[in-house]
Structure 1
Amino acid sequence: MNRTDTGQVPSGIQRVPLPDSQTDFPGVPYSVMVLKPGYCRSESGGTFRADGTISLVTGPRTILVDTGGPWDRDFLLQTLKERGLDPGDVNLVVGTHGHSDHVGNLNLFPAAMMIVGYDVSEGDRYRPNKLSEGERFRVDEHVCVVPTPGHTGQDVSVEVKGTFAGTVLIAGDLFECCADEDSWRDLSMNSTVQEVNRQEALRTADVIIPGHGLPFKVVRS
């Protein structure tokens, strides 16, 4: 997905909102669930309120994708507990990028492998990888971390294959929400690169979980 060419989204591709209640995507061997949909709301005086989507991938490994802001600490711990999980049960935490509303609770998971942007670490040991060269970091044959820069210089997304809904892409702020055509460019460091990565996501994913909204389905005719 980390290409720099340009092009138009192929015709026949539509983004279709899913019902608000459809936030779980079971599958074998991995299932994906949205623990908290993100949001972004404008306020007066040019300020806005925002929080990032928090997603959980369960299966052979337990993977948390984005942790929300520091204000989500109690919610996150309680929600994991309701699913029978303690922080120590999480094997991998992925921060799609370094903004505070996406990585505000990394400290709750000291035993987990961390992937934040293009850094892959276990404790204070950083592992070599080629995310910065546009190569995926493969967790296993079903899950990989994909470089999808644009919103920032080191955004990543998490691709999960094999759910009953097809391929799910947990996209961070590659997509703000389902209908973000009028907003994402204003928040992008490199809109040309981000546009290319958005197009590729729409070509390959069946469901996209955006950084500040509910999941949506990609329909290709």
Structure 2
Amino acid sequence: MATLLTESQLDIAGHPYSVSIVKVGYCVPQPDGSFRADGTVTLVEGPGRRILVDTGGPWDRDFLVTKLRERGLEPGHVDLVVGTHGHSDHIGNLGLFQAATIVVGCDISEGDKYIPNQLGEGHPYHIDEHVSIVPTPGHTGHDVSVEVRGTSEGTVLVAGDLFECCSDEGSWQKLSENPVVQNSNRQRALRTADVIVPGHGLPFRIHKH
């Protein structure tokens, strides 16, 4: 069972890391069979480190800069940018963060230097004891999520499109490259996370039995 967080609960305090939803993503079907969509943008802040998970689409550029400035931040203040996967509504503004370490799927780079890792083999990449990048493929072959432990809500998983939204049963499969693998990763997330931040909707709290 899960319950949505409200718009007033989008800033999750924590020690040492907090999690703030900068923009809630959406996906809205259109009458002509197309759909309008944009990815959730999340800021994780801790001791001497700022992590942005997904950057929205390129049409979000000015919005994103404004939202960061409202928090007293410039793009150059962001240390790590994680693109949960390579779709344009999730990594459309990577160019704003040229000073940051960049993670997209299983690639980790500092400028033009690529860092060895084992995300592609199913192993997490630990930022520190509180924050990890974890492989959660299915939607695409190289999706990742960001796990933040020790917040006021417990463990928060910023999940990209592992979950489209809280009530996505019956809809996520048609967007998945590998529904079997994705479902396995979804079930693991539901067991390990207390709050999930999906790619296209409000965060939701998991009530474990």
TM-score bucket (shorter structure):
over 0.9
**1:203 corresponds to which residue?**
191
Percent sequence identity is: 66
Q: 166, 170, 194: which one pairs with 1:178?
A: 166
CA-CA distance at 1:16 after TM superposition = 1.5
Larger RCO: 1 or 2 (CA < 8 Å, sep 6+): 1
Cα distance in 1, alignment partners of residues 7 and 172 from structure 2? 22
Q: CA deviation at 1:20?
A: 2.8
Unaligned segments of structure 1, at least 5 residues: 1-13
Secondary structure (helix, strand or coil) at the match of 2:7 reads: coil
Secondary structure at the aligned position of 1:62 is classed as strand
1:36 aligns with 2:28: no
2:6 aligned residue: 19
CA distance in 2, matches of 1:24, 1:190: 32
Q: In the alignment, does 2:125 pair up with 1:140?
A: no
2:85 counterpart of 1:97? yes
When the two structures are superposed, what TM-score results if normalisation uses the length of structure 1?
0.93
**2:32 partner SS:** helix
Quote the residue 1:49 is aligned against. Answer: 36
Cα deviation, residue 143, structure 1: 0.2
Cross-structure match for 1:125: 113
> In 1, distance between residues paired with 2:148 and 2:170?
28
Q: Distance in 2 between matches of 1:199 and 1:20?
A: 26
Per-residue deviation, residues 78-103 of structure 1 (Å, max 9, x unmatched) = 00001010111100000000000000
Name the counterpart of 1:155: 143
Q: What's the secondary structure of 1:195's corresponding residue?
A: helix
Distance 2:4 2:42 in 1: 18
- Give the residue type in structure 2 aligned to 1:109: F
Letter in 2 for 1:22: Q
Give ranges in structure 2 of 5+ residues lacking alignment: none
The residue type equivalent to 1:28 in the other structure is H
Distance 2:204 2:7 in 1: 10
Partner SS for 2:158: strand
Shift of 1:21: 2.1
Distance 1:21 1:184 in 2: 27
* 1:76 maps to which of 48, 60, 64: 64
Task: Count matched residues.
Answer: 208
- Matched AA of 2:151: T
Partner SS state of residue 116, structure 2: coil
User: Which amino acid letter does the alignment assign opposite residue 49 of structure 1?
Assistant: R
TM-score, with length taken from structure 2:
0.99
Given the alignment, which residue of 73, 82, 86 partners 1:85? 73
Deviations 1:164-218 (A, max 9, x none): 1000000000000000002100100000000000000000000000000000000
**Aligned equivalents of 2:4, 2:68: Cα separation in 1:** 26
Structure 1 outlier segments of 4+, above 3 Å:
none
